[in-house]
Amino acid sequence: MKIIVVVLILGILVALGSAMLALIRHKGPSDRIVKALTVRVGLSVALFAMLMLAQKFGLIQPHGVY
């Protein structure tokens, strides 16, 4: 479970970095930026849904900060 979460977070960061590089290089809006940000949002939603389902099925347990 931890590996999947780390992979999704890294994917989110890569998509965000790709959008930033496209914005810097093209100096304006382009389809590449939109696609990269769409991928980032999709991965973020998938990560959130996966964490909620994992908690519901008991795969992860929430804990308080002591």
For residue range 12-63, what is the model confidence (pLDDT) as tens digits?
Answer: 999 999 988 888 887 767 788 889 899 999 999 999 999 999 999 988 888 8
Q: Is residue 2 predicted with pLDDT exceeding 90? A: no
Amino acid 46: pLDDT: 95
In the block, residue with structure tokens 């992860």: 60
Amino acid 48: pLDDT: 96
Amino acid 5: pLDDT: 92
pTM of the model: 0.81
Spell out a b/e string for 35-52, using b for 16 or more CB atoms within 10 Å of the CB, else e: ebbebbeebbeebeebbe
Residue-range domain boundaries for the chain = 2-56
Encoded amino acid at 10, one letter: L
